[in-house]
């Protein structure tokens, strides 16, 4: 396991470094010079020079990068020039809302995907199986934000049971408000991801159910339920772990759109607001943060997978 | 030699077997109808999508089949003409992503060495990130325009193509027919493009359709965030974005563009599944789902 861990980290570090270079370089790829972007079009040359030296733009480029990277590692991602707050504090402020949304959505994915995937695999050719496949195809085709709009139409406008604009409330201190605000965005996020995962589980399940050990389980007299759940599902879910990890990463990405649809105060909307205001330090900070999270999640998932499946860490 | 291989991998029965799949056939027909309808609309009633009128937020009626929007524009016309933006972005970005990704994968897999390591680390990074986020970064850097949206989605689509191509090359590199081509004096480029490439096209074509489907969604998401195809050209994503302010007055406005979007993605998805069945791609399915 240790050697696998080291190998995996050996892959992770260069990718993370590459990511920081790309995110850092982003601001330099923008048209115009960064000092101009910060100072605005009516800044005087003296102001520009002052901003340049404050931002360290007069230093050699590699030194600028290292300074920026060093600050980022220590948690200093700069200051949002729109709000005046530090980028780190803005991110930390919004993080719990997005994490809670992702967790709710993840629960939704698991609750929906496992049974749907199982039924799709086991009821192949029957009317039920076909019905499930239609549901899965539909779920796959509907983008997250349209689910959001449909939910608002149905639950907020026609039924009037849930708010169209969701507020964040911590789940542990105010579960009622948290669910009222979080259930629609979480469901909108979960549905497309759940259908992808369900398809994945279905194909994995179909493959597993044809294996010899399933026949052995049946032959030794294990009940159908036991065969399917203990022998089939447990093996079929193994590859789904990787899938779930990827989905979790993509939840955070899809959260941008969903949070905008529901005006949910999370990281996605922070990024959206930063994009609209061209608040570059904030854009850079949020993207760097998100990228780092994705990469770390990927490593964690791979390690989890290696832990669950010895073939990976030995092979 | 390589010409012979190329002939072999493009047999007619594949098309016929594909068309025997009723779902896939229906999907092709629906997409073609949509495209023809869209082109007809911009040819016959080019101004209808941008023409404002006094009748705002009307429900579907004989005069306006799908009703009107907040400026009294005809939603049916906007919907049909909006299809072009989706189709153009989807195919252009899938094509560009395929060209870059397959080239990178071929070179990485065939040449190996540090080329391979560097390319694959870059692909790892891109693959680790959700398509929308990558596309978002590219559009922020380049600025919103149709071309930049295409580039943005293509960049996000590159790694899966690269992985597929690389895996294919690694599998075929030491096969006898490749060695035979080498023995006959074929150069590296020739081997990669004329000997190896035709034999790994199956999964790549499937992936092309899968990417086109997710590109439709990604383009709509970008438009929805105000970073897509710039107005006044109608696009489904920006229509949905606008509809959100008027859901109370005009529920249809929020329904039809989404329906068009879902139908397009559904058809592309069915075509992808059908192609996968006839082209028999190994491993493509696993990587394909990662795109979303």
A29 neighbourhood in chain B, CB within 8 Å: 141
Percent of chain A with pLDDT over 90: 0
Q: What is the pTM assigned to this prediction? A: 0.80
What per-residue confidence (pLDDT) applies to B289?
37
What is the DSSP annotation of chain A?
-HHHHHHHHHHHHHHHHHHHHHHHHHHHHSSS-HHHHHH-TT--HHHHHHHHHHTTTTS-HHHHHHHHHHHHHTT---B-TTT-SBHHHHHHHHHHHHHHHHHHHHHHHHHHHHHHHHHHHHTTTSHHHHHHHHHHHHHHHS-HHHHHHHHIIIIIIIS--S-SS-----TTT-HHHHHHHHHHHHHHHHHHHHHHHHHHHHHHHHHHHTSHHHHHHHHTT--HHHIIIIIIIHHHHHHHHHHHHHHHHHHHHHHHHHHHHTT--SHHHHHHHHHHHT-HHHHHHHHHHHHHHHHHHHHHHHHHHHHH-HHHHH-
Q: Assess if residue B141 is contained within a domain.
A: yes
Residue A273 in this model has a pLDDT that exceeds 80: yes
d(CA B154, CA B247): 33
What per-residue confidence (pLDDT) applies to B96?
94
Report residue B92's pLDDT band, with 50, 70 and 90 as the boundaries.
Answer: very high
Interface contact B137-A243, CB threshold 8 A: no
What per-residue confidence (pLDDT) applies to B18?
78
Mutate to test the interface with B, among A145, A258, A281 (most CBs of B within 10 A): A145
Which token pair is A267?
Answer: 């990281």
Interface contact B269-A140, CB threshold 8 A: yes
Quick one: average pLDDT of B186-197? 80
For residue B25, what is the domain's CATH number?
A: 1.10.3720.10
What per-residue confidence (pLDDT) applies to B281?
52
Using a CB–CB cutoff of 8 Å, tell me whether B122 touches chain A. Answer: yes
d(CA B53, CA A104): 44
Angle at B29 between CA B26 and CA B31, to 5 degrees: 110
Which residue, chain included where needed, has tokens 């293509």? B154
CB B141 within 8 A of CB B132: no
Interface contact A200-B289, CB threshold 8 A: yes
The larger pLDDT score, comparing residue B124 to residue A261, is at: A261
Q: Assess if residue B25 is contained within a domain.
A: yes
Q: Assess if residue B179 is contained within a domain.
A: yes
How many residue pairs from chains A and B have C-beta atoms closer than 8 A?
A: 126
Name the 3-class secondary structure at B217. helix
B258 neighbourhood in chain A, CB within 8 Å: 142-143, 146, 149-150
Range with lowest mean pLDDT among A82-86, A105-109, A269-273, B99-103? A82-86
Nearest to A208 by CA among A169, A242, A237: A237
In SS3 terms, A66-125 reads as HHHHHHHHCCCCCECCCCCCEHHHHHHHHHHHHHHHHHHHHHHHHHHHHHHHHHHHHCCC
Q: Assess if residue B60 is contained within a domain.
A: no
Closest Cα in chain B to A279: B140
Q: Based on the structure, what is the number of domains in chain B?
A: 1
Report residue A52's pLDDT band, with 50, 70 and 90 as the boundaries.
Answer: confident
Q: How many CB atoms lie within 10 A of CB A147?
A: 23
Name the 3-class secondary structure at B175. coil
Give residue-wise pLDDT tens across range A145-163. Answer: 888 888 888 888 788 777 7
Report residue B99's pLDDT band, with 50, 70 and 90 as the boundaries.
Answer: very high
Ramachandran category for residue A89: left, alpha or beta (phi over 0 → left; psi -120 to 50 → alpha): alpha
Residue B97 in this model has a pLDDT that exceeds 90: yes
Question: Which domain, by its residues, includes B287?
Answer: 20-39+74-291
Q: Is the dihedral angle over the CA atoms A261, A264, A268, A272 positive or is it negative?
A: positive
Q: Tell me which residue in B129, B251, B290 faces A294 most closely, judged by beta carbons.
A: B129
What per-residue confidence (pLDDT) applies to B63?
66
A256 neighbourhood in chain B, CB within 8 Å: 132-133, 136, 225
What per-residue confidence (pLDDT) applies to B56?
67
Q: Assess if residue B47 is contained within a domain.
A: no
What per-residue confidence (pLDDT) applies to B94?
92
What per-residue confidence (pLDDT) applies to A129?
84
Q: Assess if residue B82 is contained within a domain.
A: yes
What's chain B's length in residues? Answer: 292
Closest Cα in chain A to B259: A142
Using a CB–CB cutoff of 8 Å, tell me whether B221 touches chain A. Answer: yes
Residue A134 in this model has a pLDDT that exceeds 80: yes
d(CA B22, CA B274): 9
Quick one: average pLDDT of A79-91? 84
CB A101 within 8 A of CB A255: yes
End-to-end CA distance of chain B: 39
What per-residue confidence (pLDDT) applies to B100?
93
d(CA A37, CA A59): 18
DSSP B193: I
Residue A60 in this model has a pLDDT that exceeds 80: no
d(CA B224, CA A95): 23
Give residue-wise pLDDT tens across range A174-225. Answer: 777 777 878 888 888 888 888 888 888 888 888 888 888 888 888 888 777 8
Residue B32 burial class via C-beta count within 10 angstroms: exposed 0-12, middle 13-18, buried 19 and up: exposed
Interface contact B262-A142, CB threshold 8 A: yes
Closest Cα in chain B to A17: B125
Closest Cα in chain B to A142: B262
Q: Is the peptide bond before B232 cis (omega within 30 degrees of 0)?
A: yes
Kindly state the helix (H) or strand (E) to which residue B276 belongs, with its residue range. Answer: helix B251-279
Report residue A31's pLDDT band, with 50, 70 and 90 as the boundaries.
Answer: low
Residue A282 in this model has a pLDDT that exceeds 60: yes
Q: Assess if residue B27 is contained within a domain.
A: yes
Q: Tell me which residue in B137, B251, B266 faces A141 most closely, judged by beta carbons.
A: B266
The larger pLDDT score, comparing residue B70 to residue B193, is at: B193
CB B280 within 8 A of CB B202: yes
Q: Assess if residue B215 is contained within a domain.
A: yes
Average pLDDT, chain B: 78
What per-residue confidence (pLDDT) applies to A143?
83
d(CA A4, CA A7): 5
What per-residue confidence (pLDDT) applies to B12?
56
């Amino acid at each position: 396991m240790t050697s696998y861990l080291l190998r995996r980290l050996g892959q992770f570090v260069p990718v993370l470094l590459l990511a920081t270079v790309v995110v850092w370089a982003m601001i330099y790829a923008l048209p115009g010079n960064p000092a101009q972007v910060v100072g605005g079009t009516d800044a005087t040359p003296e102001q520009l020079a002052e901003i340049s030296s404050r931002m360290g733009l007069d230093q050699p480029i590699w030194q600028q990068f290292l300074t920026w990277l060093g600050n980022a590692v220590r948690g200093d991602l700069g200051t949002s020039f729109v709000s005046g707050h530090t980028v780190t504090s803005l991110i930390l402020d919004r993080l719990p809302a997005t994490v809670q949304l992702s967790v709710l959505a993840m629960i939704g994915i698991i609750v929906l995907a496992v049974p749907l995937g199982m039924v799709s695999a086991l009821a192949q050719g029957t009317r039920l199986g076909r019905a499930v496949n239609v549901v899965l195809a539909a779920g796959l085709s509907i983008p997250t934000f349209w689910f959001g709009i449909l939910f608002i139409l149905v639950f907020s406008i026609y039924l009037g049971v849930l708010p169209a604009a969701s507020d964040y409330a911590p789940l542990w201190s105010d579960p009622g408000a948290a669910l009222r605000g979080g259930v629609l965005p979480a469901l909108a996020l979960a549905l497309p991801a759940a259908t992808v995962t369900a398809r994945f589980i279905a194909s994995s399940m179909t493959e597993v159910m044809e294996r010899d050990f399933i026949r052995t389980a049946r032959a030794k007299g294990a009940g159908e339920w036991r065969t399917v759940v203990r022998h089939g599902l447990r093996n079929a879910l193994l590859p789904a772990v990787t899938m779930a990890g990827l989905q979790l990463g993509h939840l955070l990405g899809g959260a941008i759109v969903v949070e905008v649809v529901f005006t949910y105060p999370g990281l996605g909307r922070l990024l959206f607001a930063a994009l609209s205001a061209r608040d570059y330090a904030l854009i850079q900070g949020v993207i760097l943060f998100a990228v780092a999270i994705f990469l770390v999640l990927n490593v964690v998932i791979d390690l989890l997978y290696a832990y669950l499946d010895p073939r990976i860490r030995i092979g | 030699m390589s010409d012979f291989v190329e002939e072999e991998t493009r047999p007619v029965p594949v098309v016929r077997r594909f068309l025997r799949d009723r779902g896939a056939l229906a999907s092709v027909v629906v997409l073609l109808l949509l495209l023809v309808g869209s082109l007809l609309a911009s040819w016959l009633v080019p101004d209808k999508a941008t023409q404002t009128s006094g009748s705002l937020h009307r429900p579907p009626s004989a005069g306006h089949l799908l009703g009107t929007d907040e400026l009294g524009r005809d939603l049916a016309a906007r919907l049909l003409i909006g299809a072009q933006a989706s189709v153009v972005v989807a195919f252009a970005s899938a094509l560009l992503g395929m060209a870059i990704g397959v080239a990178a994968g071929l070179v990485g897999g065939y040449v190996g060495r540090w080329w391979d390591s560097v390319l694959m680390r870059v692909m790892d990074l891109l693959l680790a990130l959700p398509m929308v986020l990558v596309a978002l970064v590219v559009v922020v850097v380049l600025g919103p325009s149709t071309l930049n949206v295409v580039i943005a989605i293509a960049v996000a689509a590159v790694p899966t193509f690269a992985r597929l191509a690389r895996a294919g090359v690694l599998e075929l590199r030491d096969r006898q027919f490749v060695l035979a081509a080498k023995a006959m004096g074929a150069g590296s480029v020739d081997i990669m493009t004329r000997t190896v490439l035709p034999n790994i096209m199956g999964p790549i074509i499937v992936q092309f359709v899968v990417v086109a489907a997710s590109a439709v969604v990604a383009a709509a998401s970008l438009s929805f965030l105000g970073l897509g195809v710039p107005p006044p050209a109608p696009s489904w994503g920006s229509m949905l974005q606008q509809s959100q302010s008027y859901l109370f007055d005009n529920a249809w406005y929020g329904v039809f563009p989404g329906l068009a979007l879902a139908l397009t993605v559904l058809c592309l998805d069915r075509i992808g599944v059908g192609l996968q069945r006839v082209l028999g791609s190994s491993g493509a399915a696993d990587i394909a789902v990662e795109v979303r």
